[in-house]
Structure 1
Amino acid sequence: MNHPSRIYIAADHNGFALKERLVAWLRGAGHIVEDLGASQHDPGDDYSTYGIKLGEAVAAHPGTVGIALCGSGQGIALAANKVRGVRAAVPWNPAIAMDSRTDDDANVLCLAADYLDQPLTEQIVQAWLATPFSGEARHRARIAEIERYEAQ
């Protein structure tokens, strides 16, 4: 696996159990992981809180990436993507995870804890972390267009 300088990770109550297992697995693989919560299972917490918190951490620290989990992966991705500079993707298999890095330079990986088991989750994360951005001109141009819009 590629080793970004730091991996931020966060989850709401739906993603909490899978997040806990991922933290142990990632640290076991030698990654520096900063767990932004939830620190305990709380059925009343909100994906938006953790998506924004994780997005802000990734945006504030270039060279880092984030992994965010909620039930579908969609809600936490919507929240994270509201943070300027975040490019959050919701892949459901390793191939889509690699595309999100190669083509879109995604810096936040959002996972659907209600639909992914541990082995598939690990495959997706491993593929995503190991795949660099292609840097192709057409992909850089698309990202630049998004960045210009964010700057308005």
Structure 2
Amino acid sequence: MKLAIGNDHSAVEMKKEIKKYLEDKGIEVIDVGTNSTESFNYPISGYKVGKMVANGEVDGGVLICGTGVGISLAANKVKGVRACVCSEPYSARMSKQHNNSNIIAFGARVIGVETAKMIVDEWLNAKYEGGRHQVRVDMLTEIEQTQGLKVVDEQGQ
């Protein structure tokens, strides 16, 4: 398995710990984040990880900024990305099982390293369930590709 990891200046130390944690599990990690605590614009890392995931260069991504929100918003602007911010393990698992998330994000100013490791583990170990969830994932893709949603448009809303 190969993952991309990205971060901003607020998450340098957490990124280093999560990267090592993943590598210790035998996962190849491509680091596209910053290693400096000087101000760094999170959209750069979010975009880079998003592009790598969308292009199939990696199997998934991990993003970390102060809250996880900004960096995930940047990644979600890339077609094909489903980045989810999670602050606890249950949401991480469900994001994969129900939403087929391909990037997980969290905040270095919100959670601790041990919680981040649990989030990563739940996300990595979860499997997309498909089935009834595929209809919704397809709807997300439709919105992304057309900026519309047929089922809503047909109802005149």
Is the shorter-chain TM-score for this pair beyond 0.5, marking a shared fold?
yes
Out of 43, 48, 69, the residue aligned to residue 48 of structure 1 is 43
Please, what TM-score do these two structures have when normalized by structure 1? 0.92
- Higher RCO (Cα < 8 Å, 6 or more apart): 1
Out of 69, 78, 89, the residue aligned to residue 74 of structure 1 is 69
Match of 1:151 in 2: 145
- Please say if 1:15 is aligned against 2:39: no
Alignment gaps of 5+ in structure 2: 147-157
Give the deviation of 1:91 after TM superposition.
1.0
What per-residue deviation string (whole Å, max 9, x for no partner) do you get for residues 82-101 of structure 1? 00000000111111111101
Of structures 1 and 2, the larger Rg is shown by 2
What per-residue deviation string (whole Å, max 9, x for no partner) do you get for residues 78-133 of structure 1? 10000000000011111111110111000000011111111111111001100000
Contact 2:4 2:58 in 1 (8 A): no
Aligned length: 146
Counterpart Cα distance in 1 of 2:59 and 2:37: 27
Counterpart Cα distance in 2 of 1:29 and 1:12: 24
Match of 2:33 in 1: 37
**Root-mean-square deviation (Å):** 1.2
Contact 2:10 2:37 in 1 (8 A): no
Give 1:105's aligned amino acid: N
Alignment gaps of 5+ in structure 1: none
Contact 2:3 2:58 in 1 (8 A): no
Q: Quick check: which one's helix share is greater?
A: 2
Out of 91, 98, 101, the residue aligned to residue 96 of structure 2 is 101
Match of 1:116 in 2: 111
Contact 2:65 2:107 in 1 (8 A): yes
